[in-house]
Amino acid sequence: MEALLHALIDRAEAEAETVMPGFTHLQAAQPVTFGHHLMAYAEMFFRDRSRLRDARRRLNECPLGAAALAGTSFPIDRDATAKDLGFDRPMRNSIDAVSDRDFALDYLSAAAIAAVHLSRLAEELVLWSTPQFGFVKMAEAFTSGSSIMPQKRNPDAAELVRGKAGRVFGHLQALLATLKGLPLAYSKDMQEDKEGVFDAADTLDLCLAAAAEMVRGMGVNPVRMRAAAGVGFTTATDLADWLVRVKGIPFREAHGVAGRAVKAAEARGCGLENLSLGELQAVDPRIDAGAFEVLGVDASVRSRTSEGGTAPERVRVAALAARDRLAGGAA
C-alpha cells in the first residue's frame, strides 16, 4: 500500500499542472488537474492504511490459555505467553477467544474497502486508456493483444484488478454469513474463516502491487486532457463565481446568468471563452472584459486555491504533506 501511495504522490507532483476535465455523473463538470485527481486516490489509500493499522491493534490479542472455552486449571501466565509470542496482550474472555472471528472480519472489511478503491482506480485507467478518452497509455507489460483484432492493446491488468475486487467482497460476505447464526462458543463452521482470509490477503497484495506499477508506468497525454477539459462549458461555474465575487451578484442570480451564457455559446457552437464581449453583455450587461480572465481552463484551475483545491500550487503542497505523512508513519 505504501508503494502505491508513493507512486500516486510521485505522479501527482509530476502532473500538478496537467489540466483535465473533472466529472460528476460522468459528465464534464469543472476543470481540475490530473495531479489533484491522483491525490484523491492517495487520500483513499491513506485511509485504507489507517484501517489496516486499526484492525491490527484490535486483533493482536493472544487466545492461548482459553483452552476449549472455559480457561484452564493449570497455573499458566497468559501475559508471559502473549508477550513471548509477539501479541500485545491476552484476550480477556476465554469464550470470546474461541468463538468470535472479529479479527478476521476486521481485516476482511478493511481489505474490501481497499478493493473498492483499487477497483475505482482500475476502472478509470480502463476508461482513460480508450481511444475515445485517450488520456493515458498503459505500459505494454500491463496490456495484452486481442486474439482476433491485431490493432488492440487491452488493459487486462486493470480489468483484473477491477474484477478481483468482487472476490475480496465475497470472502467478507461469506464469513459474515457463516458467523451470523452461530451460538457461543466454538462450532466447526468456523474453520471456514481461513481460506477466505488467506485468499483475500494474497489477492489484495497482488492488486496493490499491480496498481502501483500501472500508475508508475502509464503514459499521460496532457494535450488530449486539456482539450477535453474545456468541452461541455466546464468554466460556467467560474463565470458565476466571478459575477458573485466581482459584481456582487447573489449566486442564485449569477447561476442563471451563466446558464444563459452557456445557451448562447451552444447556439453559436463555440465555447464560453469564444463568445465576444458584446455577446456576453447581451446575456447580461454587467459582464465586462474581466470575465475573460476566468473563462479559460488554466485560469479556472489556478483560481481554486482553497485548501484541498485543484490549483497546481495546492497539489504540490498536498503531495509534500503526503510524503511527510508516509515518512512519519502517520495515517
DSSP 270: S
Task: Say which amino acid occupies 136.
Answer: V
In degrees, rounded to 5, the angle at the alpha carbon of residue 141 between the alpha carbons of residues 138 and 147 is: 90
Active-site residue, from 6, 25, 50, 99: 25
Pairwise CA distance, residues 292 & 64, whole Å: 71
CB distance 31 to 78 below 8 Å: no
Q: Is 25 marked active-site?
A: yes
Q: How far apart are CA 275 and CA 315, in angstroms?
A: 31
Hey, what's the cell of 325? 505523512
> Which residues have CB under 8 Å from 32's CB, separation 6+?
19, 20, 21, 22, 229, 301, 304, 310
- Kindly name the residue from 6, 37, 94, 146 that is annotated as catalytic: 146
Look at the alpha carbons of 67, 73, 79, 84 in this order and tell me if their dihedral is positive or negative.
negative
Cβ(97)–Cβ(66) below 8 Å: yes
Cα gap 142→7, rounded to integer Å: 16
Q: What CA–CA distance (Å, rounded) separates 284 from 288?
A: 9
Residues assigned a catalytic role: 25, 146
